[in-house]
Structure 1
Amino acid sequence: MSKKAVEIEDLLELVSVTDPKISPDGKRAVFVQTKMDEEENTYHSHLYHISLETGESAPWTYGKSRNSQPAWSADGRHIAFLSDRNDKNQLYVLPSGGGEARAVTDFEKGVSSFRWSPCNKKIWVNALVQDGKTFTDQEPEKEGDKKKPEPYRTAIMKYKMDGNGLVKQDCHRQIGFVDLETGKVEQLTEEPYHCGLEAISHDGMKLVYGSAKEENQDFVFRQSLYLRDLETGEETAIIEQDGYYGNAAFSFDDARVAFVGHSRAYENATHAELYVYEVAHQTTQCLTEGIDAPIGDYVVADHQQGAQAPGVIWTKDGHLYFQVSTEGDVRLYFASLEGAVYPASPEDEHVYGYDIARDGNFALAAISDPVSPGELYKLAISTGEREALTSCNSSYLEQTELIAPEIVSHTTEDGFEVHGWLMKPRGFEPGGKYPLVVNIHGGPHAMYANTFVHEMQVLAANGYGVLYVNPRGSHGYGQGFVDAVRGDYGGGDYRDIMGALDHVLAENGWVDKGRLGVTGGSYGGFMTNWIVSHTDRFKAAVTQRSICNWISFSGVSDIGYYFSEWQHGATMDNVDKLWEHSPLKYAKDIHTPLLILHSENDHRCPVEQAEQLFITLKSMHKETEFVRFPEADHNLSRTGKPNLRFARLEEIAGWMKRL
């Protein structure tokens, strides 16, 4: 029996398996499963429990809600988690021996994160609070059935954020705790700036938090880390400098704090490193100086929902585990305080979630590759042997034909190796000729990887070859490579993509060079615009959530006023430089039929970018169409409403029929 082709609506069948957490005794675990709900046009996420001794698993939450961030209490008797079952994310506690979950918070603005106290009797929380109020204060109800619209005033530049809209000016994240026996809530911080909860020591006496400690943060780009003694209130700066530092974790003896972060040496292209702070001596060492790759997961994909991986995990013997994005893989790495650093998981896969047993003998890892949407595995650290613990997508894989890509690479004139993947179309037969679509990722400081991407499979199932590469500016290939795009948008990055295409055409006679398509989103949308305004090689193009005008982008994007300076070395005092890198400047040279897709609530690359491009091209009598997606933001392709995600893929596949 032949397998069916991948379809757009397969997103309804796929299950996202994420966020494994091992119990303190190492015998059980919880993880999160997420599925689309077509009728409700949303996603539902639930906690699942699995016995690591028998392999038996069962759901621990039910209903139409999203449950996330599971965490065991130190004694293993309870699981805490966040749930939006009553609208906003609130904190719930569930007995691990069975029983109903109970809400332990009812905060006006919900809870963003939490940490168990080692005493098992209280939970530290991080939540948004209006200045001058407490977690539990409730806003008075407005008179009448409908709240009247009110004007919005701002005196700061960071006043909006993609996914959130307009930012409340007088609200900041604060830290406190909930007493589980009495229900009493106490607030630790009441600052006029954000305080991010990071870690609680194993003796319960110290807390690490992150903050910039500045009221006006328009030109502040950092999160420093501070260690607070909960008895005396004394604070010590762990690291206090420009750059972003977080994911702090105490060693089991509380003598050290590990954390991940990066300076601003290359602005947002700077590699993240792993650091360890000695509490007694107040000294810090970097453990990953010898790795020319960033710590963490920088993969661009479209299937996993709410994948949250720890920045670093300690074992009881003082070893550390963390993720590294390297050459198209995300691998689990090991480090010792003596300087040993090496991979603890194999190549050719994407470890997008993990936890480590306290004794360091095994890991639980959520792993995907190009033909596996992702499952949970138990990995023996010493031998590398693995055991599949879930088979959530096995039925789908048995029925559906997925196309495995082949690795492609070429060396550029200036010495960079550009790495990528080439998929043959479904139904490929030797001797045939087939169209090819080039797909370009956003960022640009991100990467395509050895992971499952539904969009690529849809294109291949529709009869297209698919080429997707990591041009300069992508993560995973060294600091020099990721930094090389800055100040050179449309230069070396453009040549990298076109060079990869030329290499594929020279090596693969099945590609019909007269039937080429190109698409991409965000930075990939910028590059799609740039490509079609600089070459006529493509017969069809789809630009998504794109940038066409860096001058207007500076003022309308939530990150525009500093992103342009970081990436182009120019601000509004040098509009010539911004215009030089703007595809709109070259609109007259666009001859490729161009479909423009854009979300109406996108604050990262606002819809006015699409409007400018569309009106300009139409006024020049170019072949173009414009599709707007309501109630969608910059993350439409990954977390948008299911019906709009389907519509987006239908638009892309439909436009490529011109090939």
Structure 2
Amino acid sequence: MWSVSSFAKLVVPTEVRMSPDGTWVAYTIKRIDPEKNRAIRQLILYNLKTRERFFLSEDTSKPRFSPTSKKLAYLKKEDDKSSLCIMELSNFSSYTLLTTPNVSFFGWSHDERNLFVVTQKKRNDPDLYFETRIPVWFDAKGFLDDQRDVFHIFDVESRQELTQFEEKNVAYAFWSKEGIVYTVFREEAPFTRFDIFLHSNGSKRTVLEDVGFIATSESQWGFILLGREKKNAFQHDYVYLLKNGQILPLTERYGLDNSGHISLEVWASDSEGYPIAVGEWVYFKSGERGIVKLERMNLRSFAKETLFSEGAVSCFDASEDGKVAYVAVDDERGAEVCILHDGKNERITSLNEQFLATVTVKRLNHFEYASFDGTKIDAWYLKPDSSPAPLIVFVHGGPKGAYGRCLYFMGQLLAQEGFYVLYTNPRGSDNYDEGFALAVKERTGLEDFKDILSGVEELKRREAVTDIGITGISYGGFMTNWAITQTDMFRAAVSENGISYWFTSYAFSDIGFWFDKSLIGDDPLTNENYRKLSPLFHAKNVKTPLLLIHSLEDYRCPLDQSLMFYHVLKDLGKEVYIAIFKKGAHGHSVQASYSHRLKRYKLIVEFFKQKLLLKSEIFDPEKCFKLD
């Protein structure tokens, strides 16, 4: 049977790399050590010729093969520092090139003689932080403290640092044939406006200025770009080729987001999954209706091929001889590393197979329904062993997030406890056409909320549903807060790291100064949307028992959002509870310590059990911490 602690038995491959010659696959696994109360990452090398595996020491990650496939660079965490190590693959001997508090990016030169490493430098005054830029802080990083990015160039053989240079706001970097190509974000719109530079022989030149692209790789015809020439926060990203100064669209005509993703919950990756060029091909992801496909396009013929479309790909890499390594998950199996070679897909890991054989994995039931205005919406649900039964509605983050074919641990846990579990992709979700994603702009909480309610009504027509609860994180937390101010349909609600007041989110969040203006509207000081679309100002309508969960170190949707809602609801005499975790960033549900995550699961499951199954008048939190 599933238990609240079962997540600690799930092992997640978080990144994968292939050697250019197709001999080696390097992948990092993340497992939970309850005794150490943390996640441990470990790098594993797999030889495709001999089928042998070689395990590096614990706390190793971020593998990068050299162009000749003779060396491997990787990181090793030691206390609060990271060591960049170089391994000779002929004999597995390693040495440390650099030890530093942090490493953002590193990459090999084409002749394999040099390696660049990007670290951060802060003011580090013992008494204060001082800023002249926004934001002052950033989620999972803390106070930025006038942060600078430092590029260090090393001679790999002599292990000497040859030179260094500084930049601000580096989003991504790689070494091209001419030099280091790096993308920096513009502070006024850090996720949508960029400049791309080339650093070569001590000088810097501009490749592209004030565009919506990130340069991700180099082909023999030019740089691969992800994004679009001008974009806002909710438009799709497409793949382009920068050839002889001309930007050529490669995937735009297909209309699928090439940054497409679904909520992977416990199976979340550590890597971005940016497009890469290898030989004549560019490889990329495409999101479509709950699936994240792995695709490639030939850069000579511009013919596109789909390589995998049975679930969700989280990360991938390819070799020069056409082999492809990727991590995939679906609603039956956990995440595993797979290889595509000779036209066949092969799983080379079985990290979760034996454990999943000991529990009952319920498959998602897909259905499509027409919302209030006829818009077609995708949904999936899990069915308990017996019915009638209560229902828990999950709302994804974003709003440009998505659900899809994934084995959701929390859903399995709740279904086993006797709940229906519903996942919907209302308008605003990713992996549909761009108009669908843009539909929530300045209207969040309106039509998208009606889409969710329509999904509940459709499921009620299909199944014997009794009482209904709702939950979500981030945008899902906002929607949970909003839902209980708009209807008394829900008999219990759990809101995590959500929004209650859009104006303070705009002013307080690390991304609020541009994201909230893109979503809620310009001129927050006078725009009525910042009040009209905020759950806080509709608090008097709440009749639903609410549990608020927030992590203290969340700078994306800061603590004020839940704390304000809690204080106002409590002052109005509403039934509301709040759990504030002392540590943890916005993604605390998958990134926090073992004990933190365990208590989170216990709180959510027990709250819904007491309110919807046992019909308790008052929530007893002490029972949460007596569970096995």
TM range (shorter): over 0.9
From the superposition, tell whether residues 219 and 272 of structure 1 become closer, same or farther in structure 2 (CA, over 3 Å): closer
From the superposition, tell whether residues 42 and 91 of structure 1 become closer, same or farther in structure 2 (CA, over 3 Å): same
Using the alignment, how far apart are the partners of 1:637 and 1:339 within structure 2?
Answer: 44
1:525-546 deviation per Cα after TM superposition (whole angstroms, max 9, x unaligned): 1100111111111111111111
Cα pair 2:85 2:94 within 8 Å, conserved: yes
Do residues 440 (structure 1) and 411 (structure 2) align? no
1:302-324 deviation per Cα after TM superposition (whole angstroms, max 9, x unaligned): 223543254122232x1211111
Do residues 117 (structure 1) and 109 (structure 2) align? yes
Residues 478-497 of structure 1 mapped to structure 2, 5 A cutoff: 478-497=433-452
Do residues 199 (structure 1) and 199 (structure 2) align? no
Percent identity among equivalent residues? 26
- Unpaired runs of 5+ in structure 2? 613-628
* 2:457 match: secondary structure: helix
Using structure 2 for the length normalisation, give the TM-score: 0.93
Q: CA deviation at 1:187?
A: 3.2
- How many positions carry a matched residue from both structures? 610
Residue number among 576, 579, 585 corresponding to 1:633 in the alignment: 585
**What amino acid does structure 2 have at the position aligned with 1:206?**
G
Residue number among 57, 63, 67 corresponding to 1:74 in the alignment: 67
Using the alignment, how far apart are the partners of 1:470 and 1:412 within structure 2?
Answer: 11
1:405-453 deviation per Cα after TM superposition (whole angstroms, max 9, x unaligned): 111211234443211211002xx14xx3111100101111111121222
**What amino acid does structure 1 have at the position aligned with 2:333?**
S
Cα pair 1:439 1:468 within 8 Å, conserved: yes
Residue number among 182, 189, 197 corresponding to 1:209 in the alignment: 182
Match of 1:21 in 2: 17
Cα pair 2:260 2:431 within 8 Å, conserved: no
Do residues 299 (structure 1) and 262 (structure 2) align? yes
Residues 147-546 of structure 1 mapped to structure 2, 5 A cutoff: 150-169=127-146, 171-191=147-167, 193-195=168-170, 198-201=173-176, 204-212=177-185, 217-218=187-188, 222-228=193-199, 230-231=200-201, 233=203, 235-237=205-207, 239-247=208-216, 249-251=217-219, 253=220, 255-265=221-231, 267-278=232-243, 281-304=244-267, 306-316=269-279, 318-337=280-299, 340-360=302-322, 362-380=323-341, 383=343, 385-425=344-384, 428-429=385-386, 432-508=387-463, 510-512=464-466, 515-546=467-498
* 2:315 match: secondary structure: strand
Using the alignment, how far apart are the partners of 1:198 and 1:151 within structure 2?
Answer: 31
Cα pair 2:296 2:305 within 8 Å, conserved: yes
1:360-380 deviation per Cα after TM superposition (whole angstroms, max 9, x unaligned): 2x3112110012111111223
- Unpaired runs of 5+ in structure 1? 132-138, 140-147
Using the alignment, how far apart are the partners of 1:520 and 1:234 within structure 2?
Answer: 45
Cα pair 2:197 2:205 within 8 Å, conserved: yes
* 1:562 match: secondary structure: helix
**What amino acid does structure 1 have at the position aligned with 2:359?**
T
Cα pair 1:19 1:309 within 8 Å, conserved: no
* 2:102 match: secondary structure: coil
**What amino acid does structure 1 have at the position aligned with 2:155?**
D
Using structure 1 for the length normalisation, give the TM-score: 0.88
Cα pair 1:378 1:388 within 8 Å, conserved: yes
Do residues 89 (structure 1) and 82 (structure 2) align? yes
Q: CA RMSD in A?
A: 2.1
* 1:518 match: secondary structure: strand
* 1:528 match: secondary structure: helix
Q: CA deviation at 1:256?
A: 1.4
Using the alignment, how far apart are the partners of 1:198 and 1:329 within structure 2?
Answer: 28
Cα pair 2:212 2:229 within 8 Å, conserved: yes
Match of 2:548 in 1: 596
**What amino acid does structure 1 have at the position aligned with 2:195?**
S
* 1:524 match: secondary structure: helix
Q: CA deviation at 1:188?
A: 4.3
Q: CA deviation at 1:341?
A: 4.8
Q: CA deviation at 1:344?
A: 1.9
Residue number among 89, 94, 100 corresponding to 1:101 in the alignment: 94
Using the alignment, how far apart are the partners of 1:85 and 1:372 within structure 2?
Answer: 33
Using the alignment, how far apart are the partners of 2:23 and 2:520 within structure 1?
Answer: 52
**What amino acid does structure 2 have at the position aligned with 1:157?**
I
Cα pair 2:517 2:524 within 8 Å, conserved: no
Of 91-100 and 42-51, deviating more is 91-100
Q: CA deviation at 1:195?
A: 4.2
Q: CA deviation at 1:232?
A: 7.6
Using the alignment, how far apart are the partners of 1:374 and 1:219 within structure 2?
Answer: 34
* 1:579 match: secondary structure: helix
1:49-92 deviation per Cα after TM superposition (whole angstroms, max 9, x unaligned): 11212433231x223x2x22101112222210122125222311
* 1:603 match: secondary structure: coil
From the superposition, tell whether residues 554 and 493 of structure 1 become closer, same or farther in structure 2 (CA, over 3 Å): same
Using the alignment, how far apart are the partners of 2:237 and 2:567 within structure 1?
Answer: 41
Match of 2:570 in 1: 618
Of Structure 1 and Structure 2, the greater strand share is in: 2
From the superposition, tell whether residues 196 and 464 of structure 1 become closer, same or farther in structure 2 (CA, over 3 Å): closer
Using the alignment, how far apart are the partners of 1:614 and 1:194 within structure 2?
Answer: 36
Of 300-309 and 72-81, deviating more is 300-309
Q: CA deviation at 1:16?
A: 0.6
Q: Which segments of structure 1 move beyond 6 Å, counting only runs of 4 or more?
A: none
Cα pair 2:371 2:455 within 8 Å, conserved: no
Of 578-587 and 333-342, deviating more is 333-342
Match of 1:143 in 2: none
From the superposition, tell whether residues 234 and 494 of structure 1 become closer, same or farther in structure 2 (CA, over 3 Å): closer
